[in-house]
Amino acid sequence: MGIIAGFLLSKKIGAKHLEGAKSQAERLLREAFQEADQQKREKLTEAREEIYKLRQEAEKEIKDRRGELQRAERRLEQKEENFDRKLDKLAQREEEVKNRQTELENQLKEVEAIRQEQVTRLEEVAQLSRDEAREILLKEIEEDAQHIIGLRLKDIEERAKREAERKSREIIVTAVQRCAVDHTSDVAVSTVALPSDEMKGRIIGREGRNIRAFETLTGVDLIVDDTPEAVTLSSFDPVRREIARLSLEKLIVDGRIHPARIEELVEKAGRDVEEQIMEAGEEALLETGVKNMNNDLVRTLGSLKYRYSYGQNALKHSLEVSHLSGIMAAELNLDEELARRAGLLHDIGKAVDHKIEGPHALIGADLAKRFNESPVVINAIASHHEDLEQQSIYDVIVASADAISASRPGARRESLDAYVRRLEKLEELAKSFGGVSKAYAIQAGREVRVVVASSITDEGVIHKLAWDIARKIEEEMKYPGQIKVTVTKEIRSIEYAK
């Protein structure tokens, strides 16, 4: 009974505990569901906020990209509009050009028609054709020229009688000069050695085309005579002669002698001579100890290497005067370098006196002034031949040194200087006519060769130009014998095979 009672009691108590446990479990379960529901709602809220935030950012980015696309589209549309406008303008301009070209063609046709009509009217009025009128005009010019030639021959004969004594003196002086072989050869001619006499034929070329091209390009007379294995270059201009000598020596070494190669080597020799001129000026500065001189003035000084005054080399004379001036200044306790500078530049005007009118002393002074030389040097240059009054002791020193250098035996050749000036004037006179591109005095001044521009196509104009040059030479120059005027036209066409 006790056991049964205990069992029942424990069962009753267990049932109560079980019910309490179930109640507690249910309560905990309800609380867990409530907490889970609360967390679920919070997570959903956070997810919604995150989704909204991402959506806002995505919409903003889409909006920005859409704005950029719209702006790019507007730019493209604007560029397309500008391109269309330019195309319209280009088409309009092309149309205007076509219209203008059509108008010009019509005007040219009208002008040609008017010209033909005028020629026809003139032929009707004169009752002569164009060829007949030209024939009559040329005949009248020829008769007039013959009349002028007759008068000139008569005048020359009378002048020869009046000036017989003066001409005889000139002939004697010329003979004396020709006897001075060493000095004259150094000044007027250059001899180029050949490997064999066969080279003379190649230099002359077929029908003389090579020698003509060489003389035309250099302005130097190329003399091919019986001298074995040698030819002679003759020119009053030593710069031209040096360019011709270098060109001919290179042609002989190269062996390819034809007009195109001659032109190429003449241009290269010209550049080489320019470099030699600059080197000569720099060497003169080193030899005399002169410093800080303008490069253009140095080049002008170097060009004196190829200039001769009265048969005396101008650069060597300037160096001698510079040394003498420095020695005299040192003896007088003066500025030796300043005296050498003035002496070196005293004849600088002779480098350009063939281009500028006036005494070479004043030309040189103006040149030195342009290149910022000191007033002492400028006045020493201007006054060394008493063209201006001497103002300082340096003027006296330079003038004295110049007189000492010029008084050496054989330093002066008056007639040679006059001869060079006459040839220079002959070339300048020929170049003064319109249409003349080049002019060279050759054959010791007995011939002037003139090259006219290729634009002159009328042969009558060329003949008339030769006649006019000859008449002007007769009027403005004095010379022994006669001068031949040769006018040629050069036509050159260049193409490249690629």
Is 251 part of a structural domain of the chain?
yes
- Decide: helix, strand or coil at residue 487: strand
Asked whether 446 and 484 are in contact (CB, 8 A), the reply is: yes
Q: What share of the chain is helix, strand, coil (3-state, %, to 5)?
A: 75, 5, 20
Record the pTM: 0.44
CATH number for the domain harbouring residue 192: 3.30.1370.10
Which residue range forms the structural domain that includes residue 212? 173-275
pLDDT score recorded for residue 341: 92
**Domain final residue, candidates 412, 439, 466:** 412
CATH number at residue 448: 3.30.300.30
Q: Which of 359, 377, 412 is the last residue of a domain?
A: 412
Q: 478 in a domain, yes or no? A: yes
Number of domains within the chain? 3
The residues that bridge with 234 in the sheet, in sequence order, are 189, 221
Would residue 387 count as lying in a domain?
A: yes
Distance in angstroms (rounded) separating the CA atoms of residues 81 and 74:
10
CATH code of the domain containing 399: 1.10.3210.10
Beta strands in 19-155 (DSSP E): none
Distance CA 333, CA 397 (A): 13
Q: Residue 444 has what pLDDT?
A: 66
Claim to verify: residue 320 and residue 387 sit in the same structural domain: yes
In a domain, 160, yes or no: no
**pLDDT confidence of 146, banded at 50, 70, 90?**
low
Q: How far is CA 65 from CA 54, 55, 58, 74, in A?
A: 16, 15, 10, 14
pLDDT band at 311 (very low <50, low <70, confident <90, very high): low
- Tell whether 363 and 446 lie within a shared domain: no
Q: Are residues 361 and 305 in the same domain?
A: yes
Is residue 99 a part of any domain in this protein? no
Query: Exposure string (b/e) for 343-378, b if CB count within 10 Å is 16 or more?
Result: bbbbbbbbbbbeeeeeebbbbbbbbbeeeebeebbb
The answer to whether 222 and 241 have CB atoms below 8 angstroms apart is no
What average pLDDT does the structure give for the chain? 80
pLDDT digit string, tens, across residues 33-60: 888 888 888 888 888 888 999 989 999 9
Q: Which of 227, 247, 275 is at the close of a domain?
A: 275
Question: pLDDT (tens digit, 9 = 90+) per residue, 161-201?
Answer: 667 656 545 533 333 333 233 333 345 577 888 888 888 88
Residues 237 and 193 in one domain: yes
Whether residue 85 lies inside any domain: the answer is no
325 domain-assigned: yes
CB 216 within 8 A of CB 490: yes
* For range 83-112, the mean pLDDT: 89
Pair (381, 398) in one structural domain: yes
Q: What is the mean pLDDT of residues 332-339?
A: 87
Region 201-210 average pLDDT: 85
